[in-house]
Amino acid sequence: MLNIDLRGRRALVAGVADDGGFGFAIAKALGEAGASVCVGTWPPALNIFLNLLERGKMDESRRLSDGSLLTFEKIYPLDAVFDTYAELPEELRTSKRYKDVGDCSIDGLAQRLVADFGERPLDIVVHSLANGPEVKKTLLETSRNGYLAAVSASAYSLVSMIARLGPLMRDGGAVASLTYMASERAIPGYGGGMSSAKAALESDTRTLAFEAGRKWGIRVNTVSAGPYASRAASAIGIIERMVQYVGQNAPLTEHLTAEEVGTATAFLCSPLASGITGTTLYVDKGYHSMGMAVDAGMG
């Protein structure tokens, strides 16, 4: 039997703040395959996430196939908009949600990993981060600051993470991120520069696959997931309509599950995918292959 075996490997999943999105599903799939899992959580969501875990509110969703619960080896505060702690504005550092978490920058995360696990602590890095403060605005209405914020949080953060975590990865390391088809086709309602950010993310995936592959021997891929009604995706404002539309027009009409994205990402990060890098893998029930909407009158 051909199984995904990640025993003895350590994964970092950046962008987990609850049990309802792709980040959690990926972490669970990696844990199911035997990896030890650390997560990075946005500081304003950190205490809520920790409380949910401590009170057992996520126990059912954390349950693995053998009956045990997914455990997180470490939970780190991470604000991937900042490369170093010096870049955090003073008013943010001293704010209620940041003042007790310490260095939550990408560089700070790298330093904590080394302090906790040694010089080369990682085998897998998953970038499950995206934010567009003006996502509900059309591109024509998006401000320069809103556009740059979307690209910074959703695309450049991957570049920065690989630059700082790549040297910490062991032989055979793999990086995966999450993208969306708005990178290549117009999706009305998916605004605020997020489509541009996803296009940048996919382009960067190809370039980083070459550069990080030659420099550290690690693979870099991205997963283009179909629409899924997670709590984070509700910020778009039209997510339910997007899910319904894909269900009506994709080759496979069942709605996408987070588990399907999780297992596909675990495969990409496993030795079974050792020959795959620089690739965008579509996990969207085949919707990306369609060139025409299905006529509802035709059944």
Annotation says 282 is catalytic: no
Q: Which pLDDT belongs to residue 237?
A: 63
Query: How many whole angstroms from its chain centre is CA 42?
Result: 13
Q: Is the per-residue pLDDT at 280 higher than 90?
A: yes
CATH architecture of 10-298: 3-Layer(aba) Sandwich (3.40)
The average pLDDT across 73-99 equals 97
> Using CA of residue 11, residue 15, residue 17, residue 22, what is the dihedral sign?
negative
The average pLDDT across 154-180 equals 98
The average pLDDT across 164-172 equals 97
> What is the pTM for the complete model shown?
0.94
Q: Please tell me the distance from the alpha carbon of residue 182 to that of residue 22, in angstroms, as a whole number.
A: 17
Q: Where are the beta strands (DSSP E) in the chain?
A: 10-14, 36-41, 72-77, 122-127, 169-179, 219-225, 280-283
**Which of the following is catalytic: 76, 98, 190, 287?**
190
Q: What percent of the chain has pLDDT over 90?
A: 88
Q: Which pLDDT belongs to residue 296?
A: 55
Q: Which pLDDT belongs to residue 295?
A: 64
Q: Is the per-residue pLDDT at 75 higher than 80?
A: yes
pLDDT band at 99 (very low <50, low <70, confident <90, very high): very high
Q: Is the per-residue pLDDT at 191 higher than 60?
A: yes
pLDDT band at 230 (very low <50, low <70, confident <90, very high): low
* CA–CA–CA angle 229, 48, 136 (5° rounding): 40
Q: Is the per-residue pLDDT at 144 higher than 80?
A: yes
Q: Is the per-residue pLDDT at 284 higher than 60?
A: yes
**Which of the following is catalytic: 98, 147, 180, 287?**
180
151 contact partners, CB below 8 Å, separation of at least 6: 193, 196, 197, 200
| Partner residues linked to 39 by β-bridges | 13, 75
pLDDT band at 299 (very low <50, low <70, confident <90, very high): very low
| Partner residues linked to 280 by β-bridges | 222
Q: Please tell me the distance from the alpha carbon of residue 74 to that of residue 128, in angstroms, as a whole number.
A: 17
pLDDT tens, position by position, 236-255: 667 788 888 888 999 999 99
Q: What is the DSSP letter of 63?
A: B
pLDDT tens, position by position, 9-68: 999 999 999 999 999 999 999 999 999 999 999 999 999 999 999 999 999 999 999 999
Q: What percent of the chain has pLDDT over 70?
A: 96
Q: Is the per-residue pLDDT at 2 higher than 70?
A: yes
Higher-pLDDT residue of 297 and 155 is: 155
Q: Which pLDDT belongs to residue 249?
A: 92
Annotation says 180 is catalytic: yes
pLDDT band at 231 (very low <50, low <70, confident <90, very high): low
